[in-house]
Amino acid sequence: MRFGVNYTPRVGWFHSWLDLDPALVSEDMATIRSIGADHVRIFPLWPLLQPNRSLIRPAAVDDVLRVVDIAGQAGLTVTVDALQGHLSSFDFLPSWVTSWHDRNLFTDPKAVSGQIRLVRTLARELSSRPHADGLSLGNEFIQFASARHPHRSQLSADEAERWLTTLLGAAREAWPTGELTHSFDDDLWFDDSHPFTPAHALLGDTTTVHSWVFMQVGPRYGSGHPALPLFARYLVELARAWGGPRRSIWLQEVGAPVTYVPNNDAPAFITDTIAHLTGLDGMPSARNLEAITWWCSHDVSRDLTDFPELEYSLGLIDSTGAIKPAGRAFREVVDAARDSASTHAASPGDQPRFVLPTADPARRSTTGPNSELFDQWLRMALQGTIPELRLP
């Protein structure tokens, strides 16, 4: 199993792409490596890469490649997200899809043609970098299709699939050997009305999982409940139910939001979450899980305003570059998981099976944290047995 972090630059946050400082990036990557990470996920901003539909800035692409190279020099491999898109409550969209040029991000031919151009360019350039693992279409880009988004791009499930296959296909043409993925939040798994469905999680080379307890588990159970560090394991089991016994899974985001995980509890939350996934808790490890990537590397600096409060403390490293107790806990549990990987490996047949109530995406909420299925799964998990989930 691989263990990594989502890279949030400690100086300037993602606005640091405006005037990249390679020396600061190098310092950040060295600290990330020192806490046991072997890979990072990075997030160049879409408007800086492609300020006009026909203009992809060579200098901006060079900055992406420079960060990949710096990470490689620190001993890290890299996945690059292409369409940013959305990060930590802020949307970053180029001017040619907003306001007077308002376009549906998923179905407008001009918008999609521009996205294809960017995805293809990044994939081609990354393909020659030895430390580049792959490319993700964007960070939870499907949130632009959510009914709760203030400026929604509406589309059907068929149109959602067409958008995904088109962009993944463009990336594959440019980078035949890259690991190509897309990412999504809880809505894909649990929102009955969302056009992106669990079946769409199977597009790309591996199923990604983003586990955030502030969505439904935290509000239901509250701080300190053992359901919180078990939620990532539940999502991985749900992803495996949809993907089948051989499809790989990447826990691409999991973090400790202060709204439900107070700072003093973060080290234990990190330890318990990773233990539940890797078998350090005495139960079999999660099958098909190939990587865990913590959100995030560094805290957002208090010099930056208007972030949701939780964003200022999600890092394993603070905004001065000092490793936090959370970072030390990450390093210790990752070392333990690597040392004992073979001891707690899962084997077929050692889990009881729960059948999902339905495979109908219009009723996917029946598998959510407020469902009877989750209640049953959680009761067994708390008794020391992780049930396997299966489609009906």
The predicted pLDDT at position 316 comes to 98
For residue 362, is it within any domain? no
Report if residue 320 sits inside a domain. Answer: yes
Spatial CA neighbour of 306 closest among 120, 124, 140, 88:
88
Domain assignment present for 386: no
Task: Supply the pLDDT for residue 236.
Answer: 98
* CA 262 distance to own-chain centroid: 22
SS3 of the chain: helix, strand, coil, percent, to 5: 45, 15, 40
Number of domains comprising the chain: 1
| Measured torsion, CA atoms of residues 350, 253, 369, 282, in degrees rounded to the nearest 10 | 30
Residue 344 CB-half CA count within 13 A: 20
Q: pLDDT of the chain along its 392 residues, tens only?
A: 999 999 999 999 999 999 999 999 999 999 999 999 999 999 999 999 999 999 999 999 999 999 999 999 999 999 999 999 899 999 999 999 999 999 999 999 999 999 999 999 999 999 999 999 999 999 999 999 999 999 999 999 999 999 999 999 999 999 999 999 999 999 999 999 999 999 999 999 999 999 999 999 999 999 999 999 999 999 999 999 999 999 999 999 999 999 999 999 999 999 999 999 999 999 999 999 999 999 999 999 999 999 999 999 999 999 999 999 999 999 999 999 999 875 556 555 567 889 999 999 999 999 999 999 999 999 999 999 999 999 99
Q: Does residue 382 form part of some domain?
A: no
Calculated CA dihedral for residues 237, 243, 246, 252, nearest 10 degrees: -60
In a domain, 390, yes or no: no
Q: How far is CA 259 from CA 25, 314, 315, in A?
A: 29, 11, 14
Contacts of 289 (CB under 8 A, 6+ apart): 1, 236, 248, 249, 250, 251, 277
DSSP-assigned letter for residue 14 = G
For residue 205, tell me if it sits in a domain.
Answer: yes
What is the structure's pLDDT at 343? 57
Query: What tokens appear for 209 in the block?
Result: 């999982």
CATH number of the domain bearing residue 103:
3.20.20.80
Angstrom distances, CA of residue 230 to CA of 146, 212, 271: 26, 11, 11
Tally Cβ neighbours within 10 Å of residue 339: 10
Determine the pLDDT at residue 348: 53
Residue 212 counted as domain residue: yes
Give the closest residue to 161 by CA, choosing from 103, 107, 210, 211: 107
**Does residue 373 sit within a domain?**
no
* Residue 146, domain extent: 2-348
> Tell me, what's the pLDDT at 352?
86
- The predicted pLDDT at position 193 comes to 96
Cα R_g (the chain), whole angstroms: 20
Q: Which of 293, 297, 292 shows the shortest CA–CA distance to 315?
A: 297
